[in-house]
């Protein structure tokens, strides 16, 4: 027998990001919970992550119909559409930006109050990248992950 020692170090998350999960209870939907959260005053600049381009677009259109100011970025949008959506979010002309992981890579946006993982990220690295969009420049941020 030749035992092998394996050591894994998880990357630290920002101390400025408060992380929590939201369990979707029987009889409720993620959309119901999301609507309730987004109606709270403290949810003033929210980045929502979805898994697919189609899902992100569908969610952003639903939120728009529900009266929220929202834009989306994903791989089916061209660069000028993504830049326009990003600019509106940065300039606080919309409250919510719904995005896929790939489209949101490298985003540097000030004062994101909340990151919501509407869909669970595929990897730990994706999770770290997502929640790192809030709690920047020594400001506090909140990251919420929906669990069904």
Domain boundaries, the chain: 17-147
**Distance of alpha carbon 100 from alpha carbon 94, whole angstroms:** 17
CA 21, CA 33: separation in Å to the nearest integer? 12
pLDDT value of position 129: 87
Q: Does pTM surpass 0.95?
A: no
Condensed to tens digits (0 to 9), the pLDDT of residues 9-49 reads: 455 566 788 889 999 999 999 999 999 999 999 999 999 99
Helices marked H in 7-146: 30-38, 53-65, 79-90, 101-104, 124-131
CATH 3.30.420.40, applies to 17-147: no
């Amino acid at each position: 027998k030749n035992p092998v020692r394996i050591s894994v170090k998880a990357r630290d998350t920002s101390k400025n990001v408060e992380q929590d999960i939201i369990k979707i209870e029987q009889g409720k939907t993620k959309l119901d919970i999301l609507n309730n959260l987004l109606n709270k005053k403290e949810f003033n600049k929210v980045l929502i992550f979805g898994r697919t381009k189609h899902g992100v677009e569908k969610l952003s259109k639903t939120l728009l119909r529900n009266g929220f100011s929202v834009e989306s970025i994903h791989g089916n949008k061209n660069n000028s559409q993504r830049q326009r959506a990003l600019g509106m979010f940065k300039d606080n002309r919309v409250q919510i930006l719904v995005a896929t992981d790939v489209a949101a890579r490298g985003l540097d946006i000030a004062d994101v109050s909340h990151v919501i993982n509407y869909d669970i990220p595929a990897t730990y690295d994706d999770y770290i990248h997502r929640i790192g969009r809030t709690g920047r420049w020594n400001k506090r941020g909140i990251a919420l992950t929906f669990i069904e």
